[in-house]
């Protein structure tokens, strides 16, 4: 189990592993082709207790630590694709913690509890057609009208967006105040003026549906403001740290899955009358990547340990996100190369993983943004 994991973690690991083998892996090809997974999967995950694992018992969770979420990420990587795990993480690691931390009791009752049970699907909408990394530069705007807010604007690349029942939408409410003029809203499916303008066709993560959302005079009651008006930027910066932890853990887990796949293939593939794993250029590269991956994994574990013990290590979170994302793609690219022409064929799992893993260097903060954050933390 190691120094970070307990028997309770291993119980969670076993339960999730069995669920994935039974309910997910056999259907991944079908869901990749369809561009989405059945909503029933969320209900089954809710019944398993996975979605709200870290929530208090009174809300249906078990007050689990962050290592429990890391265990789930490690096991989810075994399903053969990163799309569905990403959709799940949006709900379990991004939306649920944000509502739990900033939501009112009424919002917890209306939105958090059904999200934990998997009765609804949720999304988080930050990115816009003209604003991604620059959160303060968003243009979606809301004005107060009595007991309601009227939202106009659009959001782009929203995971779970096409069928989300509830979306946390990041909106400007005071243009002149920059970072201080951002507010979070809980926008519900069916609210007048809120539509899915387009379901997007992606290079990878295809089992996860992604959409462009449109808000045209969308009226949202003031009771759906999440947290404090004007403090949404700070709320979302808090959320992004958790999102980056989930991304780093997921990248390391999928990278390990790729590495294991590549080593297995190299042992089986025979060229020049011997397995290609016997060629020094191949086995040394595997050894090098394995060593690098173990170093990054231990960095992620140490960072999670610090968070579980009350620290907020923004610099280290950004470092882990940067290193894990880059290394995961480096590993996927090498494993595809080891497969040769077969790796370029869609029937081979590495082609899917290569496409999926590329997103880790973009989502939850690009490599470039991570470098900027690290630079600032170094007082440069």
Domain chopping of the chain, boundaries? 7-121, 124-230, 234-377
Whole-angstrom distance, CA of residue 16 vs CA of residue 22: 10
Mean pLDDT of 281-309: 98
Share of the chain above pLDDT 90, in %: 96
Domain spanning 124-230 has what CATH number?
Answer: 2.40.110.10
Answer yes or no: are the C-beta atoms of 296 and 327 closer than 8 Å.
yes
Element containing residue 274 per DSSP (H, E): strand 274-275
pLDDT at residue 327 is higher than 80 = yes
Mean pLDDT of 304-324: 96
pLDDT at residue 365 is higher than 70 = yes
pLDDT at residue 123 is higher than 90 = yes
- pTM of the complete model: 0.96
pLDDT at residue 176 is higher than 90 = no
Answer yes or no: are the C-beta atoms of 271 and 130 closer than 8 Å.
no
Q: Please tell me if the domain spanning 124-230 has the same topology as the one spanning 234-377.
A: no
Whole-angstrom distance, CA of residue 42 vs CA of residue 28: 15
Mean pLDDT of 33-51: 96
Whole-angstrom distance, CA of residue 312 vs CA of residue 150: 35
- Just list the catalytic residues: 243
- pLDDT band, very low/low/confident/very high, at 1 (cuts 50, 70, 90): low
CA distances 320 to 46, 298, 360, 371, Å, are 29, 10, 12, 11
175 compared with 282, residue with greater pLDDT: 282
Mean pLDDT of 187-209: 98
Domain formed by 7-121, architecture: Orthogonal Bundle (1.10)
Neighbour tally for 143: CB within 10 Å = 11
The chain-wide mean pLDDT, for the chain, equals 96
Q: What is the pLDDT of residue 313?
A: 95
Answer yes or no: are the C-beta atoms of 198 and 211 closer than 8 Å.
yes
Whole-angstrom distance, CA of residue 131 vs CA of residue 311: 30
User: Per CATH, which fold does 234-377 belong to?
Assistant: Butyryl-CoA Dehydrogenase, subunit A; domain 3 (1.20.140)
Answer yes or no: are the C-beta atoms of 90 and 126 closer than 8 Å.
no
Q: What is the pLDDT of residue 133?
A: 78
Judged by phi (left if over 0) then psi (alpha if -120 to 50, else beta), residue 269 lies in: beta
The structure tokens listed for 108 are: 């917890």
Q: What is the pLDDT of residue 8?
A: 95
Mean pLDDT of 205-211: 97
- Which residues are within 8 A (CB) of 336 and not within 5 positions of it... i.e. 6 or more apart? 343, 344, 350, 351, 354
């Amino acid at each position: 189990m190691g120094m970070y994991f307990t028997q309770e973690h291993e119980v969670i690991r076993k339960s999730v592993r069995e669920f994935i083998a039974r309910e997910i892996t056999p259907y991944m090809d079908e869901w990749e082709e369809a561009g989405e997974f059945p909503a029933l999967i969320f209900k089954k995950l809710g019944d398993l207790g996975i979605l709200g694992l870290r929530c208090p018992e009174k809300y249906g969770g078990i007050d689990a630590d962050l290592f429990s979420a890391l265990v789930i990420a490690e096991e989810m990587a075994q399903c053969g694709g990163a799309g569905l795990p990403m959709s799940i993480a949006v709900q379990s690691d991004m939306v649920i913690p944000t509502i739990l931390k900033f939501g009112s009791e009424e919002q917890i009752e209306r939105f958090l509890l059904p999200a934990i049970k998997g009765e609804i699907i949720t999304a988080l909408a930050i990115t816009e057609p003209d604003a991604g990394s620059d959160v303060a530069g968003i243009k979606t705007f809301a004005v107060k009208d009595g007991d309601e807010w009227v939202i106009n604007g659009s959001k782009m690349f929203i995971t779970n967006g096409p069928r989300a029942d509830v979306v946390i939408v990041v909106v400007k409410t005071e243009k002149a105040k920059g970072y201080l003029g951002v507010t979070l809203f809980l926008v519900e499916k069916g609210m007048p003026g809120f539509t899915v303008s387009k379901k997007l066709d992606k290079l990878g993560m295809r089992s996860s549906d992604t959409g462009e959302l449109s808000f045209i005079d969308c009226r949202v009651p003031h009771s759906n403001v999440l947290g404090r008006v004007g403090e949404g930027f700070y709320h979302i910066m808090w959320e992004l740290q958790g999102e980056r932890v989930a991304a780093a853990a997921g990248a390391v887990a999928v990278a390990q899955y790729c590495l294991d796949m590549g080593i297995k293939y190299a042992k089986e593939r025979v060229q020049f009358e011997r397995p290609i794993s016997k060629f020094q250029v191949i086995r040394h590269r595997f050894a090098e990547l394995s060593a690098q991956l173990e170093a990054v994994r231990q960095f992620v574990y140490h960072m999670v340990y610090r968070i579980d013990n009350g620290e907020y290590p923004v610099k280290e979170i950004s470092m882990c996100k940067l290193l894990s994302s880059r290394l995961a793609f480096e590993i996927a690219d090498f494993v595809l190369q080891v497969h040769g022409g077969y790796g370029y064929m869609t029937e081979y799992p590495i082609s899917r993983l290569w496409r999926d893993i590329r997103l880790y260097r973009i989502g939850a903060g690009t490599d470039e943004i991570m470098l900027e954050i690290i630079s600032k933390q170094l007082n440069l």
